[in-house]
Amino acid sequence: MGRAALRIAGAVTAFALAGAPAVRAQDPSGSGGSGEGGGADRNRDLSVTVYNENLGLVKDRRTVTLARGSSEIVFTGVAAQLDPTSVHIRPVGNTPLEVAWQDYRNDFATTDRLLQRYVDQRVEVRMKGGDPRRGALASFDGAFLVLRGPDGALSMLTRAEVQEVALASLPGVPTGGPTLVWRIRSAPGGAVPVEVSYLTGGLTWHAEYVAIQDEAGTSLEIQGWATVENTSGETYENALVKLVAGSLHRAAVPRPMQYQGLMRVELPTSLKLDERGFSEYHLYELPERATIANNEVKQLGLFHARGVKVARKFVYDSEKNADQVMATLEFQNEAASGIGMPLPAGVVRVYQRDRDGALEFAGEDRIQHTAKNEKARVAVGGVFDVAVERKQTDFKQVSARETETTVEITLRNHRDKAIDVTVAEHAYGSWEVVRSSYPATKKDATTLEFSVRCAPEKPVTVSYTLRTTIPGVEPR
């Protein structure tokens, strides 16, 4: 059947290429044929923008050879999870192109889908005993293949007994996996550079930070990493990589990623991403091109700061931990500290040097997107010698729209020295503090804080009354 055939092995459940395709399908290196005028040469320029939410934008520039008038352009080497409705092709230059139609073909998605293309076409079936069967594929289902011989006789072959099916190359059947095909009209013809862009699932990234605290607890060494995960079904070689931080509004939820044996690759810590504002988001660009392989986890250096001043604070936030006061580390995200760039949300893992210089894991916490010159707060663990008790002591329905809630938080410090504890409480909707035993500070629309000095072995109680107005209810 020729070296340009497809072979499906193992009871028609797996397949592999048995040679380069002899039709229009081509690989990114340009080894494929040009067919009716489509053909990518070795000049390929890739750019990949990765978003936080399982989404990537791929821009793929190649040079194609067009015939005068109508041509068919075939692109292989595209992501298996691409959104066909997002595909866009444009010329890079002044050559006018008119797109008559475009297709996304992924006949390798299932073997049945591939076999459907070969109904009424000649195939060669090798059974497990080595017996070859040849004929036209008349039909198939989950249990049988039906072949039609030269005399019209039908043979039913049990799929469980099939060792291999060889399929000849057919026009219009791509043999390189997911494929994009266009019918193009171009008056001049010749070699034309084009850029194809599309959105794909299976690309995401998140930030992680490693913070090392000195023995005195006064400074941090912080290494920021951007971790890129690629399960899109395609490898992006020597690509310009950009990362976008922020919540992107989409009309539909992207398809979920499917993880398969991820690999970890780290870049040298000397590399630092270039950060700049982009629309309502922040964009980080890798200064050097990188290859992001399929089923790979790649870590890119965001920054490396030393001597970051840090303050150890004690915080009680009942929404995060109702039973414990937490020890937290606070540092300023400023240029003087060696950072001074918007920090993407991510997990901060804290290590501390012991007296012998060894590093010990001290805890971890997740920070939200932190703007430049703002404070970052990282909780590292519970404080076992400071006890806390929180209770609601009263609730009143003041009117049809208003309620009042009274809360008490009692702190007991069993340490030898006095400490300052920040008590963080949360309220929602329209609210105000009408009474409190300590001054309340409104930090944002849902957070109020109290600063409390706790002497050793002397219980301290913070009480406050919160009035909440229910919207949309008219008073009687």
What's the CATH number where 432 sits? 2.60.40
Please indicate, yes or no, whether residues 155 and 279 belong to a single structural domain of this protein.
no
Please indicate, yes or no, whether residues 369 and 394 belong to a single structural domain of this protein.
no
Please indicate, yes or no, whether residues 308 and 188 belong to a single structural domain of this protein.
no
Residue 254: predicted pLDDT: 47
Please indicate, yes or no, whether residues 343 and 311 belong to a single structural domain of this protein.
yes
Of 146, 164, 192, the one marking the end of a domain is: 192
Please indicate, yes or no, whether residues 376 and 399 belong to a single structural domain of this protein.
no
- CB count in 10 Å sphere of residue 427: 17
Please indicate, yes or no, whether residues 122 and 226 belong to a single structural domain of this protein.
no
Q: What is the CATH number of the domain that holds 134?
A: 2.30.30.100
Is 54 part of a structural domain of the chain? no
At a CB cut-off of 8 Å and minimum separation 6, what does 268 contact? 301
- Determine the length of the chain: 476
Please indicate, yes or no, whether residues 29 and 89 belong to a single structural domain of this protein.
yes
DSSP state of 435: E
Please indicate, yes or no, whether residues 245 and 348 belong to a single structural domain of this protein.
yes
Tokens representing residue 456 in the block: 């050793």
Which residue in the block uniquely carries the two structure tokens 């060894």?
Answer: 358
Is 474 part of a structural domain of the chain? no
Of 384, 408, 434, the one marking the end of a domain is: 384
Residue 391: predicted pLDDT: 96
What is the C-alpha end-to-end distance of the chain, expressed in Å? 86
Residues 152 and 124: their CA atoms lie apart, in Å, by 16
Residue 131: predicted pLDDT: 84
Is 199 part of a structural domain of the chain? no
Report how far Cα 44 is from the mean position of its chain's Cα atoms: 24
Residues 324 and 99: their CA atoms lie apart, in Å, by 64
- Pairing, β 296-317 against β 263-266: parallel
Residues 205 and 414: their CA atoms lie apart, in Å, by 43
**For residue 133, which amino acid is it?**
R
Contact 157, 204 (CB under 8 A): no
Which of these, 230, 234, 218, lies nearest to 265 by C-alpha position? Answer: 230
- CB count in 10 Å sphere of residue 204: 20
Which residue in the block uniquely carries the two structure tokens 């595209």?
Answer: 78
Cross-strand bridge partners of residue 162: 127
Please indicate, yes or no, whether residues 161 and 146 belong to a single structural domain of this protein.
yes
Residues 365 and 465: their CA atoms lie apart, in Å, by 30
Is 1 part of a structural domain of the chain? no
Contact 450, 423 (CB under 8 A): yes
Number of compact structural domains in the chain: 3
Element (H, E) at 116: helix 111-116
Is 73 part of a structural domain of the chain? yes
Contact 209, 224 (CB under 8 A): yes
Please indicate, yes or no, whether residues 69 and 175 belong to a single structural domain of this protein.
yes
Is 177 part of a structural domain of the chain? yes
Please indicate, yes or no, whether residues 150 and 30 belong to a single structural domain of this protein.
yes
Which of these, 443, 447, 449, 440, lies nearest to 422 by C-alpha position? Answer: 449
Is 88 part of a structural domain of the chain? yes
Contact 71, 264 (CB under 8 A): no
Residues 292 and 278: their CA atoms lie apart, in Å, by 23
- Pairing, β 45-51 against β 236-245: parallel
Residue 211: predicted pLDDT: 95
Of 339, 364, 384, the one marking the end of a domain is: 384
Residues 396 and 180: their CA atoms lie apart, in Å, by 65
Residues 240 and 292: their CA atoms lie apart, in Å, by 10
Residue 30: predicted pLDDT: 39
Q: What range does the domain containing 428 cover?
A: 386-469
Residue 42: predicted pLDDT: 53
Please indicate, yes or no, whether residues 380 and 434 belong to a single structural domain of this protein.
no
- Sheet containing strand 154-158, strands side by side: 14-17, 6-9, 162-167, 122-127, 132-140, 144-148, 154-158
Residue 28: predicted pLDDT: 42
Q: What angle do CA 247, 343, 365 make, to 5 degrees?
A: 90
Contact 30, 77 (CB under 8 A): no
Contact 159, 9 (CB under 8 A): no
Which of these, 179, 10, 149, 158, lies nearest to 80 by C-alpha position? Answer: 179
Is 445 part of a structural domain of the chain? yes
pLDDT, one tens digit for every residue, the chain (476 residues) = 443 445 554 433 333 333 322 223 234 443 333 333 344 335 789 999 999 889 999 999 999 888 888 888 888 889 999 999 999 999 998 888 889 999 888 766 567 877 888 899 999 999 988 788 999 999 999 899 999 999 999 999 999 999 888 888 766 555 557 889 999 887 777 888 999 999 999 999 999 999 999 888 889 999 999 999 999 999 999 999 999 987 666 665 544 444 333 333 333 333 445 555 444 567 888 888 999 999 999 988 888 999 999 999 999 999 989 999 999 999 999 988 888 888 988 999 999 988 787 899 999 999 988 888 999 989 999 999 999 999 999 999 999 899 999 999 999 999 999 999 999 999 998 999 999 999 999 999 999 999 999 999 999 999 999 999 987 655 55
Residue 22, classified by CB atoms within 10 Å of its CB into exposed (0-12), middle (13-18) or buried (19+), is: middle
Residue 85: predicted pLDDT: 92
**For residue 221, which amino acid is it?**
E
